[in-house]
Amino acid sequence: MCYLTKPQGSNCSLIKLKGKFFPFSLFFYYLTCTYLNLESASASICYIFFVRYSRTKQFPGFLNSLVHVFQNLLEYSRRRRRWRGLVEMEVEKEGEIDLLPIDLLAHIFTLITCFKDLAQASSVSRKWRQGVKESLARRDKLSFSGWKMDDDSTTRVVCLAFSLKELDISRSRWGCQITDQGLYQLATAKCISNLSSISLWGSTGITDRGVIQLISRATSLQHLNIGGTFITDTSLFAVADSCQELKTIVLWGCRHVTEEGLLVLVNKCRKLESINVWGLRVPLDCFVGLLTISPALQIRPKGMVNVERISMWPVF
């Protein structure tokens, strides 16, 4: 068993290891030296910043703690001259932080959800920029909801996410505001054909032209949310032709969608399990036709269609 001691003047949290409590910063220092094969100077940098910035009493886990460490190292890269007196050994010109393996950097960056932090990290050095790129390539989910992103910035991030499966570019009050031009650019990304889920909820800046361009390449799509947009039946025709694996679709508030588009969609997408039609201006007879084509189809929200009543109606 390894016994670690707490240095004087440190104010860091404790970690319980085999029944004993240790300063978490020293435990991290030990790991960086032993398992990452870092030189003492590199580990000292990690240790000093961990001691200086760790003020909370609990940490969710080791990897989450590493995220905070690297965020502090990012701040260190900006104020290197000011903080140099804290490090016993003078930092070399190329920077000790670049001694960390790219695989480790990429794994840490995958835990950072703030795109602003990722952009700042990529400007630290070439190695960190490569780590950010590899972290994006490993992600299977991306959500821009709540982030202030435009067409170009969104496209740059998505084009680097080669393993992406779920894409959320929903619009919030201050969030991502995608347009048709952005959908045209996203359609060129290599990951689009492998996407299983896309959310364009509330994107009022898009039209049928942009949706058709994107959907025509998303042939593996299973879940689609285009609620709160101004799309028409033309978009549904494109979905019906390109997305044969579609299981759920949200058309919440799409008031320009008509009965014709819904019938074509359900008739061609035989794997469709659920459809949200809240706010659509279609007659009740339309839902009767949908259930006739696909009796197992779930029409949401619940209670909108009286199934018992419909089952009694004759269908010719």
Distance CA 10, CA 8 (A): 6
- Among 62-76, 121-135, 261-275, where is mean pLDDT lowest? 62-76
Token pair for 13: 């949290």
| Amino acid (one-letter) located at 94 | E
> Does residue 282 share a domain with residue 150?
yes
Burial of 311 (0-12, 13-18, 19+ CB in 10 A): exposed
Contacts of 18 (CB under 8 A, 6+ apart): 1
Q: Domain span at residue 283?
A: 140-316
Residue 172's pLDDT band (boundaries 50, 70, 90)?
low
Total domains present in the chain? 2
**pLDDT class for 58, splitting at 50, 70, 90?**
very low
pLDDT for position 270: 95
Residue 94 shares a structural domain with residue 176: no
Q: Could you tell me if 304 and 195 lie in one domain?
A: yes
Q: Kindly report the pTM of this predicted structure.
A: 0.68
State pLDDT tens for residues 121-140: 888 888 899 999 999 999 99
3-class SS string, the chain: CCCCCCCCCCCCCEEEECCEEEEHHHHHHHHHHHCCCCCHHHHHHHHHHHHHHCCCCCCCCHHHHHHHHHHHHHHHHHCHHHHHHHCCCCCCCCCHHHHCCHHHHHHHHCCCCCHHHHHHHHCCCHHHHHHHHHHHHHCCEEECCCCCCCHHHHHHHHHHCCCCCEEECCCCCCCCCCCHHHHHHHCCCCCHHHCCEEECCCCCCCCHHHHHHHHCCCCCCCEEECCCCCCCHHHHHHHHHHCCCCCEEECCCCCCCCHHHHHHHHHHCCCCCEEECCCCCCCHHHHHHHHHHCCCCEEECCCCCCHHHHHCCCCC
DSSP character at residue 175:
S
Q: What is the CATH number of the domain that holds 145?
A: 3.80.10.10
Q: What percent of the chain lies above the pLDDT cut of 90?
A: 48
156 and 272 both lie in a single domain:
yes
Please say which residue of 47, 69, 100 terminates a domain.
Answer: 100
What's at 282, amino acid-wise?
V
Task: Write down the pLDDT at residue 68.
Answer: 59
At 8-43, the pLDDT tens digits run 444 444 444 445 454 544 445 444 444 444 444 444
Are both 37 and 161 inside the same structural domain? Answer: no
CB atoms within 10 A of CB 276: 20
Res 117: pLDDT: 86
Give the per-residue pLDDT at 149. Answer: 84
Sole residue written with tokens 């070399």: 92
User: Do the domain assignments include residue 105?
Assistant: no
190-205 pLDDT, tens digit per residue, is: 999 999 999 999 998 9
Distance from C-alpha of 241 to C-alpha of 303, rounded to nearest angstrom? 30
Inside any domain, residue 132? no
